[in-house]
Amino acid sequence: MSGAKNLKEAEVWIDRGDEFVKNEVWDKAVECYTRAIEINPRASFAYFKRGNVLATLNSYKNAITDFNNAIILNDNFSFAYFKRGSVYLSINQFQAAVDDFSKAILLNPDFSFAHYKRGFCQMKLKNNAAALADFEIAIEQNPSYMLAYLNRANVFFSMKEFEKAIEDYTRAIHLDPQQDNALLSRGLAYGNLKKYKEALSDYTRAIGLNPDSLLAHNYRGLIYSKMKKFEEAIQDYNKVISINPDAPDAYNNRGIAHFSLKMYKEAVEDYTKAIQFNNHSASLYFNRANCHYYLKNFVEAIVDFDKALEIEPNLYSAFFGRANCQMYINQTKEAIKDFTKAIAINQKFFQAYIGRGNAYMKMKFNKKALEDFSLAIEIKPDSALGYMNRGIAYRTEGKNEAASRDFNQFLKLTPSNSSNAIQIKQWLKKNNLPIDA
């Protein structure tokens, strides 16, 4: 068979393969391209097209081999570099992909898709400046390139430049109003800027596009919680759980909402469910312990604080919580030890000084209590509780003038109609001491 005839016959098999590709009959397409290569081993397009089909079938190793052969036969084959780079991208070999996209761009500088994909790889490699430069070129070459705007926004988001991210998410949404991912991401950017109404609007729009979106319902629930609309937040978490009963974050988030509504029993149930999925989370045990504390289940609370500390030994708030439980069950010495451990980890934890001061008061160690209350006030000069408790300590010591000064400072820092404020005013009046507030 003559060379010219071989070339023509190989082209016929390539054309047949192309028809099978159009109809997505992949195995037949591979057979046709293979036959073309057998007839003409220098048919770079046959290797290239077979590589495309193999990539579609996720046979990445074989696809790379075919693209290699296409490039060997034609080292100016820009699209072969691009396709090989796309395969490397699919298998997360981002630097190899960058190298191939760079070669494709060198051969064809106006290749906007290559700029976009190289930018995407640079983003994955956390080379933000390079990623932004490529997305910028892709957008210049194709101003309607929605994905370029979307991923440039993602880079800005990772850099915490939320205003710029919002601008690009908005452009992406304008180009594709059905793009729920852009709405979700813009909602997150708004949330980071504490623009909760705008975030809520985006999540609601995303839910309109995809009513069963777990992310949209979960994110909207979080925004409702930040807006202190806990009932609405619970409805969203309920939806997440109805779609996916194995979503531990939803149980945790719903537990937080229940806790905020003082629905402590319901919160305990939620945290218990979350712990079933993740029993290595200190925060879950800590949160459940706090619920038990408010339910006055102090022993159960201590058990959960113990578990939280096993997982995270420096969780000073767990020492503090356990100490408060111990105060209620009259284990005052143990409480002092835990307050002290909390302070050792966080010396600015003024609440622990107040707690330890109250424990010292209970044991009649008034001077030590005064020291702790004074330290709490030094750390947080606007601590109403610090002044109130130090005033009580002074009063116990019979130092009424010092107590009066602290009580008056307390009255300046707390609502006048609170029960503590009313009782203190009554004591000051009874003892003919001034009321400045």
| pLDDT tens track for 360-397 | 999 999 999 999 999 999 999 999 999 999 999 999 99
For the cut 80, the answer to whether the pLDDT of residue 2 exceeds it is no
Angle, CA 276 vertex, CA 273 and CA 277 arms, to 5°: 100
For the cut 50, the answer to whether the pLDDT of residue 414 exceeds it is yes
Hey, how many other C-beta atoms are within 10 angstroms of the C-beta on 390?
Answer: 28
Beta-carbon contacts of residue 48 (< 8 Å; ≥ 6 apart): 66, 67, 70, 77, 79, 80, 83
For the cut 80, the answer to whether the pLDDT of residue 240 exceeds it is yes
| pLDDT tens track for 45-92 | 999 999 999 999 999 999 999 999 999 999 999 999 999 999 999 999
* pLDDT for the residue numbered 214: 95
- Torsions phi, psi for 365 (to 5 deg): -95, 70
| pLDDT tens track for 137-171 | 999 999 999 999 999 999 999 999 999 999 999 99
Q: Which of 146, 139, 188, 144 is nearest to 165 (CA)?
A: 188
Please check whether residue 119 is in contact with residue 103, taking contact to mean a CB–CB distance below 8 angstroms. Answer: no
Residue 132: how many CA atoms within 13 Å on its side-chain side? 14
| pLDDT tens track for 3-52 | 566 788 989 999 999 999 999 999 999 999 999 999 999 999 999 999 99
Task: Please report the sign of the dihedral spanned by the C-alpha atoms of residue 94, residue 95, residue 98, residue 100.
Answer: negative
Alpha-helix runs per DSSP H in 227-365: 230-243, 248-260, 264-277, 282-294, 298-311, 316-328, 332-345, 350-362
Give one DSSP letter per residue of 170-226, joined into a string. HHHHHH-TT-HHHHHHHHHHHHHTT-HHHHHHHHHHHHHH-TT-HHHHHHHHHHHHH
Work out the mean pLDDT of the chain and round it to a whole number. 96
Exposure class string for 150-160: b at 16+ Cβ within 10 A, else e = bbbbbbbbeee
> For 295-321, what is the mean pLDDT?
98
Exposure class string for 178-188: b at 16+ Cβ within 10 A, else e = ebbbbbbbbbb
* pLDDT for the residue numbered 437: 63
* pLDDT for the residue numbered 1: 47
Cα-trace Rg, the chain: 34
3-state secondary structure of 265: helix
> For 266-271, what is the mean pLDDT?
98
Q: Both tokens of residue 291?
A: 């619920």
For the cut 60, the answer to whether the pLDDT of residue 105 exceeds it is yes
Q: Which residue has the tokens 């999925």?
A: 277
* pLDDT for the residue numbered 7: 80
- Report the predicted TM-score, pTM, of the whole model to 2 decimal places: 0.83
For the cut 60, the answer to whether the pLDDT of residue 286 exceeds it is yes
Q: How far apart are CA 274 and CA 288, in angstroms?
A: 10
Query: Looking at residue 125, what DSSP letter applies?
Result: T
Burial class (CB in 10 A: 0-12, 13-18, 19+), 130: middle
Q: Which residue has the tokens 């959960």?
A: 304
For the chain, the 3-state helix, strand and coil shares in percent, each to the nearest 5, are 80, 0, 20
- Torsions phi, psi for 110 (to 5 deg): -90, 20
Please check whether residue 79 is in contact with residue 117, taking contact to mean a CB–CB distance below 8 angstroms. Answer: no
Hey, how many other C-beta atoms are within 10 angstroms of the C-beta on 435?
Answer: 12
